Chains A and B, each alone.
Chain A
Amino acid sequence: MNATWSRFNVTSVVLGFAFLYLPIVLLIVFSFNESKLVTVWGGFSTKWYVSLFHNQGLMDATWVTARVGVISATVATVLGTLAALTLTRYTRFRGRILFSGMVFAPLVMPEVITGLSLLLLFVAVGLDRGFVTVTLAHITLTMCFVAVVVQSRLVSFDRSLEEAAMDLGATPVKTFFQITLPVIMPAIVSGWMLAFTLSLDDLVIASFTSGPGATTLPMKIYSQVRLGVTPEINAACTILIAVVAVGVVIASVANKRREVQRQLDEQAAQRG
């Protein structure tokens, strides 16, 4: 491989990353702005982070978002895993293609449509809009993503592991909990994290299905921005970015370490 950096390569890398990260960098920088005016630099300050924690509205919205995220991601993970199991295991039933298509359709469905149809449903059945409806809507949204992640793992799952367990006397239920579930657990965990992240940053569906007292963080930020961007919002967003970045870094470092350890182990085993 040619390791020299041509001027063209450098330029394209810089431009590419600038395109991706300049807005975020700007946001982070201005969250430390002394001035109340968002676009004018008035010196370094952390006062917006302090005032953020005294903003009851934002704090409430954060709490709502966290609860909605945890509950909806957990329920969606259970349902999505079951759907993935069915779709990979029972490949011969009538209408399987239609069924799998229907599970994955929400992946490409415009969020506006999902939100609107859910709203209509909730109104039709007389469910008061609030915490419950947002959570239900997010389960609908994220379940198919979990199903996709878990299904991709199940496709490469060696069925003879289950057969071996049953052959050794484990009932199908025991086999599922002692063998299948532990083996596909990493995929289920990533499915949960994906679902949680999707729920965390959803604005459109939440706007349709939420009601008074159940304002999520993205809704709160959006409504505040419409009244004018304050550095406080920049600070809130910076914290959100930090949380997500730390999570991603920890996950990938742990993953990388496991992979390296595994390779070392296998080499050691081959040497005897």
Chain B
Amino acid sequence: MKSLGSIRRDFAPWNDPNAKPYIQFENVTKKFGDFTAVNNLSLTIFEREFFALLGASGCGKSTLLRMLAGFEEPTAGRILLDGQDLRGIPPYRRPVNMMFQSYALFPHMSVEKNIAFGLKQEGMPAPDIEKRVAEMLKLVKLEQFAKRKPHQLSGGQRQRVALARSVAKRPKVLLLDEPLGALDKKLREETQFELMDLQQNLGLTFVVVTHDQEEAMTMADRIAIIDKGEVMQVATPAEVYEAPSSRFVAHFVGNVNMFEGKVAERAANTTRITGATGAQIVVENNTDTAAGSNIVFAIRPEKIKVTSKKPADAVNALEGEVYDVAYLGDMTVYHIRLDDGQIIRASALNAARVTEDPLTWNDRAWVSFRPDAGVVLTR
């Protein structure tokens, strides 16, 4: 069976028409003075989902999170949590907790007091608090740091305290604002998997805001790509990458080559495209495009093969010259200047230590790809 991407998922309530939505943004608009941060946005998030809001800074993704937490009220529209309208409910009465980008650890309290803070507010008896705090410290592996103050911890430890504090109350939803933003690369990768395990084990709904596409791709069940306060696409990481809905999404997530062109001919299964500079491309049908309409053909670099001779069986093959080569160890990136002037980025996985068909600067080269390797975009 064919599937987009490499993972086949069992958890997919968004495909089930009977699934009950857990968090609903309904036509939400948020204005700050004249500036519209969120523009008539609707989104549905399901229970136990790991949902990512991905976008550049200032796109409105943090505002969405802050509206869910109760720090901002929507100017128009409404937000529902488990069927309940959240309008007018202050942050301290909402069953959601947030992990802040700056961690916001209380500097005058020890680690255990920080974790116990939320439990004390809800009037939990002291012995229960003690038990829960111990449990949380064990969860984030900080047992021996219970008495330390935040400034006596490293960045990674602070991040874990913030996490423990925000899940200590067992919220219905955990909101994470750039949770790994302040960590270095190696620690960030480790922590991504820890967060995923935690979400699985606690069975919570996670909504994470991030500007790091790799982070969103790694962790999330679904990603909403936000631009200028609007949702561009909501889909699984594989769909976002392999079937972007627009040029913006294709550009935003990963690298992509784009061919501007027109639909020349539409057959039963395939469409022939004529590029603006004359290239002829045959693609499998994935959109309803009539002959003659203007489209963009988008293809990822790793789906393009670079060879010194024209492959005999290739449906799509374009000739050019090697313009740049970068050897990255695990793969090699080629920039090929086609004879029509367009520069194509292609990457080849270095599956063996030696290459049969080495290429270097200014060599003649062919780029080829299968009819199902790219997508036709109309937006």
Show the binding face of A for B, using Cβ within 8 Å: 158, 160-161, 163-172, 174, 178-179, 182-183, 262, 265-266, 268-270, 272
CB distance from A260 to the nearest CB of B (A): 13
CB distance from A145 to the nearest CB of B (A): 25
Check A174/B108 contact, CB under 8 A, given A160-B102, A272-B154.
no
Interface residues on B, range: 20 to 34
B332 at the interface (CB under 8 A from A): no
B residues near A178, Cβ cutoff 8 Å: 117
Tell whether, in the assembled complex, residue A169 and residue B121 are in contact, meaning their CB atoms are under 8 Å apart: yes
B residues near A270, Cβ cutoff 8 Å: 154
10 inter-chain pairs at a CB distance below 8 angstroms, sorted by A residue, are A160-B100, A163-B104, A168-B169, A169-B92, A169-B121, A169-B122, A170-B121, A179-B106, A266-B152, A270-B154
Give the distance in Å from the alpha carbon of A179 to the alpha carbon of B92 in the complex: 14
A residues near B100, Cβ cutoff 8 Å: 160, 163-164
How many pairs of residues, A versus B, come closer than 8 Å at their CB atoms?
75
Tell whether, in the assembled complex, residue B91 and residue A163 are in contact, meaning their CB atoms are under 8 Å apart: yes
Check A166/B104 contact, CB under 8 A, given A262-B151, A270-B154, A272-B154.
no
B118 at the interface (CB under 8 A from A): yes
Tell whether, in the assembled complex, residue A269 and residue B157 are in contact, meaning their CB atoms are under 8 Å apart: yes
Give the distance in Å from the alpha carbon of A178 to the alpha carbon of B108 in the complex: 10
B107 at the interface (CB under 8 A from A): yes
CB distance from B208 to the nearest CB of A (A): 16
B54 at the interface (CB under 8 A from A): no
Give the distance in Å from the alpha carbon of A160 to the alpha carbon of B148 in the complex: 21
Tell whether, in the assembled complex, residue B151 and residue A269 are in contact, meaning their CB atoms are under 8 Å apart: yes
Task: Among A163, A170, A269, A272, point to the contact of B117 (Cβ < 8 A).
Answer: A170
Tell whether, in the assembled complex, residue A170 and residue B92 are in contact, meaning their CB atoms are under 8 Å apart: yes
B residues near A169, Cβ cutoff 8 Å: 92-93, 118, 121-122, 169
Tell whether, in the assembled complex, residue A182 and residue B92 are in contact, meaning their CB atoms are under 8 Å apart: no
Give the distance in Å from the alpha carbon of A266 to the alpha carbon of B169 in the complex: 29
Tell whether, in the assembled complex, residue A183 and residue B169 are in contact, meaning their CB atoms are under 8 Å apart: no
Give the distance in Å from the alpha carbon of A105 to the alpha carbon of B92 in the complex: 39
B98 at the interface (CB under 8 A from A): yes
Give the distance in Å from the alpha carbon of A168 to the alpha carbon of B149 in the complex: 19
B residues near A262, Cβ cutoff 8 Å: 151
B residues near A165, Cβ cutoff 8 Å: 106, 117
CB distance from B11 to the nearest CB of A (A): 27
Task: Among A163, A174, A269, A272, point to the contact of B71 (Cβ < 8 A).
Answer: A163
B4 at the interface (CB under 8 A from A): no
B83 at the interface (CB under 8 A from A): no
B48 at the interface (CB under 8 A from A): no
Q: A160-B100, A163-B98, A166-B91 are in contact. List 13 more A-B contacts (CB 8 A).
A: A164-B104, A165-B117, A167-B91, A167-B97, A168-B117, A168-B169, A169-B92, A169-B93, A170-B117, A174-B121, A266-B152, A269-B148, A270-B154
B90 at the interface (CB under 8 A from A): yes
B residues near A266, Cβ cutoff 8 Å: 151-152
Give the distance in Å from the alpha carbon of A269 to the alpha carbon of B158 in the complex: 10
Give the distance in Å from the alpha carbon of A178 to the alpha carbon of B101 in the complex: 21
CB distance from A90 to the nearest CB of B (A): 16
Tell whether, in the assembled complex, residue B91 and residue A269 are in contact, meaning their CB atoms are under 8 Å apart: no
A residues near B92, Cβ cutoff 8 Å: 166-172
Give the distance in Å from the alpha carbon of A167 to the alpha carbon of B101 in the complex: 14
Check A167/B98 contact, CB under 8 A, given A183-B107, A272-B154.
yes
A residues near B93, Cβ cutoff 8 Å: 169
A residues near B70, Cβ cutoff 8 Å: 166-167
CB distance from A250 to the nearest CB of B (A): 22
CB distance from A170 to the nearest CB of B (A): 5
Q: Which one of A170, A262, A270 has the highest number of Cβ atoms from chain B below 10 Å of its Cβ?
A: A170
Give the distance in Å from the alpha carbon of A172 to the alpha carbon of B70 in the complex: 13
Give the distance in Å from the alpha carbon of A13 to the alpha carbon of B169 in the complex: 61
Tell me the B66-117 residues at the A interface (CB within 8 Å). Answer: 69-71, 90-93, 96-98, 100-102, 104, 106-108, 117
Check A161/B104 contact, CB under 8 A, given A168-B169, A169-B122, A170-B121.
yes
CB distance from B271 to the nearest CB of A (A): 51
A residues near B222, Cβ cutoff 8 Å: none
B165 at the interface (CB under 8 A from A): yes
Check A182/B90 contact, CB under 8 A, given A158-B102, A168-B165, A265-B151.
no
Give the distance in Å from the alpha carbon of A269 to the alpha carbon of B118 in the complex: 25
B residues near A163, Cβ cutoff 8 Å: 69, 71, 91, 98, 100, 104
Check A164/B98 contact, CB under 8 A, given A170-B121, A182-B108, A183-B108.
yes
